[in-house]
Chains A and B, each alone.
Chain A
């Protein structure tokens, strides 16, 4: 199963990214769990300077912006 992490202390952008990620998972049709990471130390471990960040299977895919659901679905298919 795919592991997707949404990095962010809980600001508006992080909630939005979580929505986008859920939609992307539905689009891709790949079983995946979405995990919210709010702890700052854990976020720092991914070398993120601007939230929100998106991590798929341990790899940082984007940070500081909200990608389109279609793009995220593409990433999920590639990883899955």
Chain B
């Protein structure tokens, strides 16, 4: 035991430190709004606004963009992804758009994008979004071509599922509501001087503050040189606020179908308070705390006022309940696993040697990108945990190219998702899909990595065009054969 302890202690500290850093102000300011936005999208956007473009009679130019829109707007969890995928495939626009939807959904839903942007940087989030879109449509088109005989023979069932309810449109108030949340998200996370600078300073005479901070530093030692953050007083208050919200939510949101109660109001009030507090700048100084009212704080406050007004005065009671339930469900489903994942990642980080990562994926090589993809395929992490994992790799010296290859392949391909897909479309098509995703993820990583390394955009565009051209030729050759591949 004595021999084990000195070895175990740094590992434990690694886990706690990582957790503290992820519950710090800047991560909460992106994660909390993201859960509420995801809930609003899931509960308040009528599916028909998008799915009516996914019927069997829609042209390719309509159905593929609609599949992309469905992926980012409607699909935040498997409750939507699996039935929508099966629906588009069996009764709607067919295999191609269904595959596009399936590929795009895990990479580009609001939670994944916001969290990637907040933790790893906006450039990686944008690259993830853009390359997933291009390659998602590409993979969909290829699959539709490869298996076109199957698609033609498919049951000519009526597409009432998609054509039917076109009546219910997206309400203006919902659009405004989503807009206010997105504005809050931007105000809270954008790193612009006007937002991060403090305009009013308030000195809080709190003698003990310095001692508290010293205690926190002693409890969670950190090394600033390694990019570790430690726990600030502000972070500690935020960490204490989270369980308080959780307790209120358990009373107020768990049975929200039966109506709003006092606990519901308490939950929302505490959440608003957490967001506002996270937007402040708090620094210990001689004899107290220096609290700065930042641009962020005013921005978040203004957005919250709009959100609060719409939620209580403009949304129908049923819509409000649905929104709160969906948001709470996402929190319940994702947050505990995320916390556990972050803790474990922090422990792993202490053990893994940077040299190993650098040797395999330190540069933007083909091998590095393939290694990123292979890791993504064979590892399965719960939703969003891929982001702290990627963060760890980044800190350990992984190049951003292979990192993107990993980020693209990990949520797309896991044993679980492969099993579900093969139950719906058969084994041959699943094998083709998995191969294509692996190939395209590696190409996406290489492309983005080359861009990061400063390769000229003309050359990149040329390379991508050549890759797509080669694929097109390959498909043309394949499609000349009288019998196209048949799935089971």
Contacts and interface: CB of A to CB of B under 8 A. Distances in A.
Interface of A: 8-9, 11-14, 20, 40, 43-44, 47-52, 64-70
Nearest to B74: A50
B82 A9 contact: yes
Contacts of A48: 83
Contact of B84 (A8, A11, A50): A50
B83 A50 contact: yes
Given A49-B84, A64-B47, 10 more contacts: A8-B79, A11-B78, A12-B79, A12-B329, A40-B82, A43-B83, A47-B161, A49-B47, A51-B83, A68-B259
A51 B332 CA distance: 18
B155 to A, nearest CB: 11
Main secondary structure of the interface of B (DSSP, over half): helix
Interface string B325-364: 1000100110000000000000000000000000000000
B150 interface: no
Contacts of A50: 47, 74, 79-80, 83-84
Nearest to B254: A16
Contact of B78 (A9, A66, A69): A9
Nearest to B329: A12
Contacts of A66: 257, 322, 325
Interface stretch (B86-94, B141-149, B298-306): B86-94
25 contacts: A9-B78, A9-B79, A11-B77, A11-B79, A12-B329, A12-B332, A13-B329, A40-B423, A40-B424, A44-B87, A44-B91, A47-B161, A48-B83, A49-B51, A49-B83, A49-B84, A49-B161, A50-B80, A50-B83, A50-B84, A51-B79, A52-B79, A64-B47, A67-B257, A68-B258
B43 interface: yes
A66 B257 CA distance: 7
Contacts of B82: 9, 40
Contacts of A8: 79
Contacts of B47: 49-50, 64
A70 B86 CA distance: 32
A55 B477 CA distance: 49
A30 B13 CA distance: 58
The 3 A-B residue pairs whose C-beta atoms are closest, nearest first, are A11-B79, A47-B161, A68-B257
A43 to B, nearest CB: 7
A67 to B, nearest CB: 7
Contacts of A64: 47
A40 B86 contact: yes
Nearest to B164: A47
A22 B403 CA distance: 48
A65 B79 CA distance: 11
A46 to B, nearest CB: 10
B56 to A, nearest CB: 14
Contacts of A11: 77-79
A40 B83 contact: yes
B457 interface: no
A49 B89 CA distance: 12
Interface string B58-90: 000000000000000010011110111011001
